[in-house]
Structure formats: structure tokens, C-alpha cells
Amino acid sequence: MAMITVDVAVPDALRPVVDVAALPAALGDAGPAWLVLSEDGRLARWTPTTGEVQGVARYREERLASEGGGVRLRLHVSRCGRWAAVVQDRGRYGTVVDLTTGSPALKLDGGDYCCETVPFALAFAEHGGRPVVVHRTDWNRLDVTDLASGEVLTARDSPDRDEEDAEYDLDYFHGALSLSPDGTRVYDGGWVWQPWGMPAVWSLTAWLHDNPYESEDGPSYAVYPEVSEWNWPVVWIDDGRIAVYDRDDAVSGTVHVLDPTSIELRSPGVRWIKAVATFPWPVGDFGFFTDGEHLLIADEAGMQGIDITSGQQVFAIDGFRPARQDRHTGTLIQVGSANARLWTPPEWTARAG
């Protein structure tokens, strides 16, 4: 496997960089393109291989993020490349921007209850060939909005929290969202009281076609209660495997490999996702990615390719610590103050989410 990385300069016009997210390459582009959020709120399209920079929009949020502090701006881009969202991880607000006009298209409000404990729950998806956005509208509620029309596709009654038997009153704090490679399932890295991580997976197709309550307790909704913490790395390896990290204590942790297609009924109404493998991994500051076959773990020393069954290292790229991955090409990018480093897996299948 080729381990050659490519180093490029970050143009002065983009610095300092807050976050990046992949854009689909336009016809004739010489390599992957990235949307860059700069510290002053500029959103620009950047093609590293040519150095071309094109300003597309500007983000400005005048609402206070939250009272908890620790807010970090996070950038998301739709698969088609028309829509971008800038959200406040560990905060309350966000904005979806139409990159073709540079104008705000949708203001997001995830509610202020314990919002400082989780990233802002958001993921772009497609429904019937149309781009949609899944987003938190309260601490325990997600909705899906059609971006072209503004229609909420998951309209349903809100439960009365004063009624103890409210049927769909979900006691769940929604966390980071990610879609399966085929775009049919949603992973939610949320938590429940008293604080305990509770990853959940459900069918996006069933949610939008059959049951607006699917994200609460639909037939496809299943959880994995074997992790104690949340906000740790997670990645879909393929449609049938999700790698989830959990810290066991201050020095040790475990990678859990889940099969979202394999679910068993543990008790009435509780569907449990099965784990197909687990292996130990020490505690550290790292990210999870994939080349479609291996788990890629990036830490301060570099990136390691890990066999998803045995937990053994297969390859490594020293000194390469990517922060984001392009779903179109698989390219990983590490962005520094003045330079960026990129690496593309030799084989890659484009992903929906």
C-alpha cells in the first residue's frame, strides 16, 4: 500500500483555518476540493493541488452559543456540494448556507438543555434524490428538513413532558450523527441519564417513508449500551461495521466493532446492536477514519491502519494526523497553520454520508 503523503501550502487568504470539509470535485478539477471555514467567518472553496481559492459565502452567528463554554465551530457539507452547515459543537445554534448564492438557507436551534455536553447533532443526507438535513431541534428530538423547499419531513406531535406516560418522550440526549456509506442508516452518539453513553442506530429510509417516530422507538431503532462514555471517535467501516471507541479508565480503552444489521431483542421494546469484535486501545487524543477495509487511527505519532477483527497494526504513516476525510475520494487531510498534508487510500468507494 502506498504511504506517500502530499504536502501543500495553505494560502494566506484562508488562514487561520477553523475547519474544513470535502466538496465534490468539479469537472476538470485537478484533485479533491475542500470547503474551508476561516477564523473571520469566510467560507471558501480550495483545491490544494492547484492552490485555487474561491470565496463562496460568509458565516456570522450573533446568538450566544451556550453558557457552558468550550464551543467549537464545525463545518458540514452536503454530498452534492450545494449546501454547507456551520454549527456550534457544544453549543446551541447553527446555520445552513446555500453555497450557490452564499445566503443563509436555514437557521438551526438545538435547544439549550445540556447542549454543552455534545457536538451539534447534524448530518446531510438524501431522500428521493433530494438533499435533506438531519438536525437536532431539542435535546431529545431530531428532525429532517428538505433543503430545497424548507419542508420538515418528520413533522409529529411533541410530547407533553408533564405526562409521565408520554409515548414518544425520548429520554435521550442526541450527539454526533453520521450516515452509513449507503446513506440508509443513521448513527447517533448520544447519552442517557445518569450519564452513560448510548450509541443508537435506525433506518433513515423507514423514518422518512413509513414512521416519523422511527428516531424515537421505531422497529429499526436499536442501541448499544456497552459503552460508558460518549464524544469519543466513531466511524462506519462499511454498511455492516461501525467502530466505536470507549474509555475504560484513565489509561485504557476498548474499540467496539458493531454490526448495525444484527439486532437482538434483549427485553420488551429494547433492541440491542451486536458487537462482532472488541480489542483494547490505550487512551489518547485521536481520530477514527477508514480506507473502507481497515480502521485508521490518527494520534500524535501518526496514523495506523488497524485490522478491524484482530486489532493488529497493518500499516502506519508516521507524523500524519488527519482531521477530516473526503467521502468522495477517501482523501484524508491534516491542516496546520501554514501547510496541509494529504493522503488518499489506493482503493475507495464513494460514500453517501
Residue by residue, pLDDT tens for the chain (353 residues) are 678 999 999 999 999 999 999 999 875 566 789 999 999 999 999 999 899 999 999 998 877 666 667 899 999 999 999 999 999 999 999 999 999 999 999 999 999 999 999 999 999 999 999 999 999 999 999 999 999 999 999 999 765 444 443 445 689 999 999 999 999 999 999 999 989 999 999 999 999 999 999 999 899 999 999 999 999 999 999 999 999 999 999 999 999 999 999 999 988 778 999 999 999 999 999 999 999 999 999 999 999 999 999 999 999 999 999 999 999 999 999 999 999 999 999 999 999 87
User: What whole-number distance in Å separates Cα of residue 92 and Cα of residue 110?
Assistant: 5
| CA quadruple 73, 135, 236, 243: dihedral sign | positive
Query: Which residue shows C-alpha cell 418528520?
Result: 154
User: What whole-number distance in Å separates Cα of residue 28 and Cα of residue 44?
Assistant: 18
Three cell numbers written together for 258: 458493531
Residue 169 has a pLDDT of: 66
User: What whole-number distance in Å separates Cα of residue 4 and Cα of residue 317?
Assistant: 8
Cβ count within 10 A of residue 286: 18
Cβ-contact 320, 334 below 8 angstroms: yes
Nearest Cα residue to 62 out of 27, 88, 34: 88
Q: pTM of the entire structure?
A: 0.94
User: What whole-number distance in Å separates Cα of residue 233 and Cα of residue 277?
Assistant: 16
Cis before 194? omega within 30: yes
Q: Given its phi and psi angles, is residue 310 left (phi above 0), alpha (psi -120 to 50 degrees) or beta? A: alpha
Alpha helix positions (H), the chain:
204-209, 214-217
Q: How does DSSP assign 277-295, residue by residue?
A: EEEEEE--S-EEEESSSSE
Cβ-contact 124, 148 below 8 angstroms: no
Residue 181 has a pLDDT of: 97
Three cell numbers written together for 111: 435547544
Nearest Cα residue to 197 out of 174, 214, 180: 174
Cβ-contact 303, 317 below 8 angstroms: yes
Cβ-contact 174, 121 below 8 angstroms: yes
User: What whole-number distance in Å separates Cα of residue 266 and Cα of residue 233?
Assistant: 26
